Amino acid sequence: MNTNDFTDLKLFITGPTYIRPEVRNAGSLPEFGHRDSEAVKRFGPIFENLAALAGLPEDSDYQVAIINGSGTCAMETTVRSLAGPDDIILSVSVGAFGDLFHKLAVTNGKNTETLHYEPGQAMDLASLERALDEVSPSLVLLTHNETSTGVANDVAAAVALVHAHGALAAVDGVSIFGGAPIDLPQMQPDIYATATQKSLGLPAGFGIAFVSPRAVAKAETVPHKGWITDLSAHLGRAAKKQTLTTPNTTLANQLAIQLDYILNEEGMENRFRRHIEMRDRVAEFIESLDGFELFAPEGYRSPTVTCVQVPQPLKAADLKNIKETMRARGYLFDPGYGKLNTAMEDSGRQPVFRIGHMGDTTMLMLEEFLAQLGPVLKEARG
Ligand SMILES: *Cc1c(COP(=O)(O)O)cnc(C)c1O
């Protein structure tokens, strides 16, 4: 087959993200048997390094599971394993991915109530507390980094409130893990779910879950968790440095190499600082453009994705044209989360676009991208 027309675009979408040549090359390391000692050579360090990246000390009582599929599989495992027939779930949504967590609970037949915020807002603790009082949930679903709007929530405070109400807290950290300090000992979530293809700078293929002792105990009491969504089964295999079903061994090789690079070459602190610098650079760029506005409120702006509301006369359709203009220049531009822009335009509001600045994207790559995008945006605006 002729692969010459597979264009090597620089991805500035919000996942999957740019993959470094070293990680691409790691994809050609030897395949292995997933129940063989070769598996432990990869997954042993993978489990240890994931825990370190989550800020967990060596003697932590959190357990880590690697779940085949993607982030959504880790989230579905969460709702199936941590809520039984007598439990009520409260899903807290500030956007499309909060809505996804809600949908997973509902489509799995769980008793679910929702607390919903306007797109672009962060959750606030006063309304969360009122909802906790009203609903008395046993499990609360939270989003750390709402990828559709660029809002990063204060999840540590929310988790504390959830615990004060006697419920378990599940956090979707899919687009931020690997791009910001997570500090699980301080945040104390009962489950923190993430994935490989966003701030970790890898292809998609694994969900990752960090699980507290309380969640481990709860999962053991929940019936009918399914099989590939059974957290207890996943953790049983993880205890042997394995996955429940056959993993993508190509991705396992890449994950092993990438985590070693993050922890021992780039360094976590440097990686997290680079993300903040990229966020601030994008904010400065947007503020220099007349009429364009940052969608997330100050103090809640994501270190990994920036969402921008465009001025009139620009429409969502214009953002799609900009995507094609940028493609011709070698970039994949993100013209906003589709459903969000439809809802925005239906209610007379201006649409948004997003810039992903996560994973292994460097400041130099970002500068080159912004240098191309600036004139394109100005020209489109007229
Ligand atoms: C991408 C994303 C998901 C979905 O993850 P998949 O790996 O595509 O299943 C869930 N939540 C957030 C916040 C995301 O950014």
- pLDDT class for 204, splitting at 50, 70, 90? very high
- pLDDT category, 110, cuts 50, 70, 90? very high
**How far is Cα 162 from Cα 133, in angstroms, rounded to an integer?**
10
Give the 3-state secondary structure of residue 208.
strand
What does the pLDDT read at residue 12? Answer: 98
Q: How far apart (Å, rounded) are the C-alpha atoms in residues 301 and 334?
A: 18
Same domain, 56 and 190: yes
Question: What CATH number does the domain containing 372 carry?
Answer: 3.90.1150.10
Q: Is 60 in the pocket of ligand 1 (CB under 6 A)?
A: no
164 token code pair: 């004060």
> Cβ(309) to ligand 1 under 6 A?
no
* Ligand 1 mutation target, pool 75, 102, 142, 172, most atoms within 8 A of CB: 172
Cα-to-centroid distance, 101 and ligand 1 (Å): 10
- Give the CATH number, domain containing residue 139: 3.40.640.10
Banded model confidence at residue 136, pLDDT cuts 50, 70, 90: very high
Structure tokens at 334: 């993100």
Ligand 1 pocket residue status of 104, Cβ below 6 Å: no
- What are the backbone angles phi and psi of residue 218, rounded to the nearest 5°? -60, -45
Give residue 214's pLDDT.
Answer: 98
Which of 11, 92, 100 has most ligand 1 atoms within 8 Å of CB, for mutation? 100
Q: Which residues contact 217 (CB under 8 A, 6 or more apart)?
A: none
Q: Which residue's CA is the closest to the ligand 1 atom numbered 7?
A: 71
CB 359 within 8 A of CB 179: yes
Q: Which atom of ligand 1 is the closest one to the Cα of 71?
A: 7
Q: Are residues 129 and 75 in the same domain?
A: yes
Which residue has its alpha carbon closest to ligand 1 atom 2?
A: 174
298 Cα: distance to centroid of ligand 1 (angstroms): 23
Ramachandran region, residue 239 (left: φ > 0; alpha: ψ -120 to 50; beta: rest): alpha
Whole-number Å distance between alpha carbons of 147 and 190: 22
Q: What range defines the domain where residue 277 resides?
A: 3-15+267-381
Residue 83: count other Cβ atoms within 10 Å of its Cβ. Answer: 26
Residues 117 and 175 in one domain: yes
**Per-residue model confidence as pLDDT tens digits over 280-314:** 999 999 999 999 999 999 999 999 999 999 999 99
56-77: average pLDDT:
97
Confidence (pLDDT) at 357: 98
Residue 354 marked in a binding site? yes
Q: Are residues 229 and 271 both part of a single domain?
A: no
Ligand 1 pocket, residue 204 CB under 6 Å: yes
d(CA 149, CA 145): 9
Do 334 and 362 belong together in one domain?
Answer: yes
Look at residues 213, 234, 264 and tell me which one is the last residue of a structural domain.
Answer: 264
Give the pLDDT band (50/70/90) at residue 355. Answer: very high
Q: Give the model confidence (pLDDT) of 151-169 as tens digits.
A: 999 999 999 999 999 999 9
Instruction: Give tens-digit pLDDT for 208-250.
Output: 999 999 999 999 999 999 999 999 999 999 999 999 999 999 9
Is 248 in the same domain as 288? Answer: no
Same domain, yes or no: 96 and 207: yes
Whole-Å CA distances, 37 to 107, 255, 258: 39, 17, 21
Total domain count, the chain: 2
Task: Choose the final residue of a domain: 264, 284, 312.
Answer: 264
Which tens digit of pLDDT belongs to each residue from 187-201?
Answer: 999 999 999 999 999
Rounded to whole angstroms, the Cα distance separating 169 from 138 reads 9
Kindly state whether residues 68 and 188 are assigned to the same domain.
Answer: yes
Do 259 and 273 belong together in one domain?
Answer: no
Both 87 and 215 in one domain: the answer is yes
Same domain (yes/no): 240, 332:
no
pLDDT more than 70, % of the chain: 100
Ligand 1 atom with the shortest distance to the CA of 197: 7
* 78-106 residue pLDDT tens: 999 999 999 999 999 999 999 999 999 99
Average pLDDT over residues 63-73: 98
pLDDT at 377: 98
Index of the ligand 1 atom closest to the CA of residue 196: 7
Does 69 sit in the ligand 1 pocket, CB within 6 Å? no
- Do both 170 and 315 map to the same domain? no
Can you give the pLDDT at residue 209?
98
* Per-residue confidence (pLDDT) for residue 149, from 0 to 100: 98
pLDDT at residue 328 in the model: 98
How far, in Å, CA of 144 to CA of 232, rounded? 24
Instruction: Give residue 152's pLDDT.
Output: 98
% pLDDT > 90, the chain: 100
Three-state secondary structure string covering the chain: CCCCCCCCCEECCCCCCCCCHHHHHHCCCCCCCCCCHHHHHHHHHHHHHHHHHCCCCCCCCCEEEEEECCHHHHHHHHHHHHCCCCCEEEEEECCHHHHHHHHHHHHCCCEEEEEECCCCCCCCHHHHHHHHHHHCCCEEEEECEECCCCEECCHHHHHHHHHHCCCEEEEECCCCECCECCCHHHHCCCEEEEECCCCCCCCCCEEEEEECHHHHHHHHHCCCCCCCCCHHHHHHHHCCCCCCCCCCHHHHHHHHHHHHHHHHHHCHHHHHHHHHHHHHHHHHHHHCCCCCEECCCCCCECCCEEEEECCCCCCHHHHHHHHHHHHHCCEECECCCHHHHHHHHHCCCCCEEEEECCCCCCHHHHHHHHHHHHHHHHHHHC
Question: At which of 264, 290, 311 does a domain end?
Answer: 264
